[in-house]
Amino acid sequence: MRNKGYQHKYIDFSFKGKREEEEIILMLRRHWLILLMEFIPLGFFLICLLFIDIIGPFVLELFPFQMSQSLLNLGESFLYMFFWFLVFIVWIDYYLDVWIVTDQRIVNIEQKGLFRREISELEHSKIQDVTTEIHGIIATLLKFGYVYVQTAGERSRFVFKQVPNPVLVRTLIMKLQKQVIKKEKIMEGKILRGKFS
């Protein structure tokens, strides 16, 4: 069922627990710059590995051991495997951390390491307030920051971390919340009229 109040392109994404009549309005991940910042230390690590690759054979000539080249190759192989393992962990953490805004609720899917995933959801009717926070010049120029959703439920606060266009996200969530509350009031009115007519 299409939501006529919003103009957006269809998001071809599904997640476990998606309801039949539910439509995905937004699917958010952290800003691409955050991923890049996490890859910078790995880039330095790779440069060090390449430096060892180039300098290693010259250093080995100073030592009379025959096994030294094999040990260097083994050590380098181990370090390269460790590098790719770190790249994989950083990518998985970035890619699988997802915030989904549907026409009915907000779903927060957070990957905690390789083997742990935390999924929480919040119905729009339980939202009390939505605020945004943008820190620093880079975040202001590239338009990314935090969105805090205050709730009346068990989990008092939902946090969208370092997402693009936080002001737009806030506005959209508030519109959806008002729309859901309006629908609930109409349904309550129909039920009351049905009882008392």
Q: Which CATH number characterizes residue 133's domain?
A: 2.30.29
43 is in which domain, residue-wise?
35-93
How far is 17 from 64, CA to CA, in rounded Å? 64
52 within a domain of the structure (yes/no): yes
6 within a domain of the structure (yes/no): no
What string of pLDDT tens digits covers the 197 residues of the chain?
344 444 444 455 667 777 778 888 888 999 999 999 999 999 999 999 888 888 877 776 776 666 567 777 788 889 999 999 999 999 999 998 999 998 888 998 888 877 888 888 888 888 888 999 999 999 999 999 999 998 876 666 889 999 999 999 999 999 998 888 888 888 877 777 775 55
How far is 60 from 75, CA to CA, in rounded Å? 13
15 within a domain of the structure (yes/no): no
* pLDDT, position 23: 85
- Residue where a domain terminates, one of 93, 108, 140: 93
Answer whether 0.85 is exceeded by the pTM: no
User: Distance between alpha carbon 45 and the CA centroid of its chain, in Å?
Assistant: 25
Same structural domain, 149 and 106: yes
* pLDDT, position 31: 93
Same structural domain, 88 and 102: no
| Bridge-based pairing state of the strands 98-102 and 157-164 | unpaired
Same structural domain, 69 and 51: yes
Same structural domain, 138 and 172: yes
Report which of 104, 136, 140 is spatially closest to residue 123, judged by C-alpha positions.
Answer: 104
**Cα 100 to Cα 24, 75, 89, 109, 161, distances in angstroms:** 7, 43, 22, 8, 13
Residue with tokens 């300098």: 55
DSSP lists the bridge partners of residue 148 as 131, 159
- Residue where a domain terminates, one of 48, 73, 93: 93
